[in-house]
Amino acid sequence: MHYSILGKTGLKVSKIGFGSYRVDYRIPEHSDSLSDSILSGFNLIDTSSNYSDGGSEILIGKVVHQLIGNNLIKREDLVIVSKGGYLQGKNLEIAKQKEIHGTPFPEVTKCSPELWHCIHPDFLENQISYSLERMKLDKIDIYLLHNPEYFLNYNSYDSIMYHRKEYYRRIKQAFIYLEEEVKKGRIGFYGISSNTFPLTIDYHDFTSLSEILKLTDEISSENHFAVIQLPMNLIEKGGLSNYENSVLKIAQNNNIGVLVNRPLNAIVKNKLYRLASFPQNENYSKSEILKLIKDVTELENRIKISIEGFQINSSDLKSYFDCLSLGEVLSVYFKKFDNPTQFIEMKQQYFIPRANYVLSSLNKLDVLSDELTNLLNTYAVSSNILLDAIQSHLAKLHDIFLAPTISELNNHFNNDLDSIDISQKAIHLLQSLEEVSSVLVGMRKRSYVKKMQVISEFKLIDKANSFFLKN
């Protein structure tokens, strides 16, 4: 397995890290996956106080505590990264209660009714305490301000110069406080996770690493600002744009560790593209899918009419009617799906469970006629055909968009490593970058841990950055 030194922290970290954005202690496979990854040698774990509303940190605490208790690892074997800044879920409830009682967190940016943001020392102290408690730790190795650019995103563009000055003042204030947390021993080093590091000054929400380095020098020549985190993948190459002045090169020249997130999820013009292959069945046109939606809607209406006269209590009947809405929902949302990943999640978590519920419930009734039984069977088949047709259609559009990138990627590999898939190649290319300390990969399934184990043993690619430096 390949390791690197995480900037001036001096910490040795695996070139592939465990990203825990969507893991939760209530899902057993997530615990198994984290345990497998640690025992495999992936020693960097990245989380945040708002991931799964704290559930991610609880999971990490449980797994790490168990492995240490069983003498399978030592605490110093791991490098644990957490972040603070978001007020959502329980955090937001606490903040609203503090407002009601006249003791609000200072300098809060209210992005929406369900999302606030803050990097004020009072809030960071609160968050670090909760994170340590949830993870059962005495110390967080790296603590990052989580997307501080939200302050710029949700303030008037008319006063951008004022807001930028205020932005860096707030960051400096947070860093001065985090230096105190280093002295207390509750954190080891600190930094920033920002989606806007790879941008340029032309963007109103740009976060400048050069500006941040200036203000850290003002704090102390021996400051503990040591790590940045940013998105980068085969399509979003901004981290290396204008190479000598790129954020990754500036970080490397100043001995700042770099963590890459979203290595497989590219966002282009507000659309998400997953750097992976999706299976395609038959090729359906939009007009054919709209016809399938119409047919399923008609079947659902016929079923509703058929069961309306049955002796079914009103709450159950309402549930059946609510679930018999696949056609109606898709008639509205079909054209709004951007990618197969998004649709597959909806299919697995929403469409299929609801259809299965109503079909299994109705098939248990003793009063079904042969006609209604046939109608339910037809609906089951038609629904599956419709869902597969939409998934295939989205997969085709996805592949068309990614075709040039995939072709370029395969050419870069010169047909080597044909045994691995697109996502593995994408991660392997990123972990080969000498400017990157670690690539954070979501490994919620044990099968994905194994996929990452395979590429963790491959020889790193020489001059991997040449792929990202091409126009």
Do residue 229 and residue 257 come from a single domain? yes
* Domain stop point among 400, 431, 460: 400
Tokens 């209590």 correspond to: 313
Tally of structural domains, the chain: 2
Which pLDDT band holds residue 263 (cuts at 50, 70, 90)?
very high
Do residue 248 and residue 306 come from a single domain? no
Cβ(275)–Cβ(423) under 8 Å? yes
For residue 19, give Cα distances in angstroms to 43, 46, 143, 243, 423.
Answer: 11, 5, 15, 27, 15
Cβ(237)–Cβ(468) under 8 Å? yes
Cβ(51)–Cβ(444) under 8 Å? no
Return the SS3 of 274: strand
Which pLDDT band holds residue 453 (cuts at 50, 70, 90)?
very high
Do residue 156 and residue 262 come from a single domain? yes
Q: Are strands 115-117 and 109-112 parallel, antiparallel or unpaired?
A: antiparallel
Do residue 363 and residue 445 come from a single domain? no
Cβ(435)–Cβ(251) under 8 Å? yes
91-100, 142-151, 229-238, 359-368: least confidently modelled range: 359-368
Do residue 299 and residue 219 come from a single domain? no
Do residue 268 and residue 307 come from a single domain? no
Q: Is the model's pLDDT at 416 over the cut of 70?
A: no
As a whole-number percent, the residues of the chain with pLDDT over 70 amount to 99
Do residue 77 and residue 97 come from a single domain? yes
Q: Going by C-beta distance under 8 Å and a sequence separation of 6 or more, which residues neighbour residue 309?
A: none
Report yes or no on 61 lying in a domain. yes
Report yes or no on 371 lying in a domain. yes
Report yes or no on 55 lying in a domain. yes
Task: Taking residues 367-377, report their average pLDDT.
Answer: 89
Report yes or no on 414 lying in a domain. no
Residue 114's CATH number: 3.20.20.100
127-131, 181-185, 318-322, 410-414: least confidently modelled range: 410-414
Cβ(188)–Cβ(9) under 8 Å? yes
pLDDT digits (tens, 9 = 90+) for 196-249: 999 999 999 999 999 999 999 999 999 999 999 999 999 999 999 999 999 999
Report yes or no on 413 lying in a domain. no
Which pLDDT band holds residue 157 (cuts at 50, 70, 90)?
low
As a whole-number percent, the residues of the chain with pLDDT over 90 amount to 79
Report yes or no on 261 lying in a domain. yes
Residue 392's CATH number: 1.20.120
Cβ(422)–Cβ(410) under 8 Å? no
Provide the domain limits for residue 93: 3-276+421-469
Do residue 350 and residue 464 come from a single domain? no
Do residue 249 and residue 323 come from a single domain? no
Q: What are 259's strand-pairing partners? A: 229, 438
Q: Is the model's pLDDT at 283 over the cut of 90?
A: no
pLDDT the model gives residue 406: 85
Greater confidence (470 vs 297) lies with 297
Cα angle vertex 432, ends 428, 436, to 5°? 115
pLDDT the model gives residue 112: 94
Which own/partner pairs from 234-239 qualify as long-range (CB within 8 Å, at least 24 positions apart)? Answer: 234/266, 234/275, 234/405, 234/409, 234/426, 234/429, 234/467, 235/266, 235/268, 235/273, 235/275, 235/405, 236/198, 236/262, 236/266, 236/267, 236/268, 237/468, 238/198, 238/199, 239/197, 239/198, 239/435, 239/468
* Domain stop point among 367, 400, 433: 400
Do residue 179 and residue 268 come from a single domain? yes
Which pLDDT band holds residue 414 (cuts at 50, 70, 90)?
low
Do residue 131 and residue 151 come from a single domain? yes
Q: Going by C-beta distance under 8 Å and a sequence separation of 6 or more, which residues neighbour residue 189?
A: 8, 9, 141, 142, 143, 182, 224, 225, 226, 227
The span from the first CA to the last CA of the chain, in angstroms, equals 31
Report yes or no on 172 lying in a domain. yes
pLDDT digits (tens, 9 = 90+) for 6-48: 999 999 999 999 999 999 999 999 999 999 999 999 999 999 9
Backbone φ and ψ of 197, nearest 5°: -60, -40
Do residue 93 and residue 147 come from a single domain? yes
What's the mean per-residue pLDDT of the chain?
Answer: 93
Return the SS3 of 192: strand
Report yes or no on 415 lying in a domain. no
pLDDT the model gives residue 309: 79
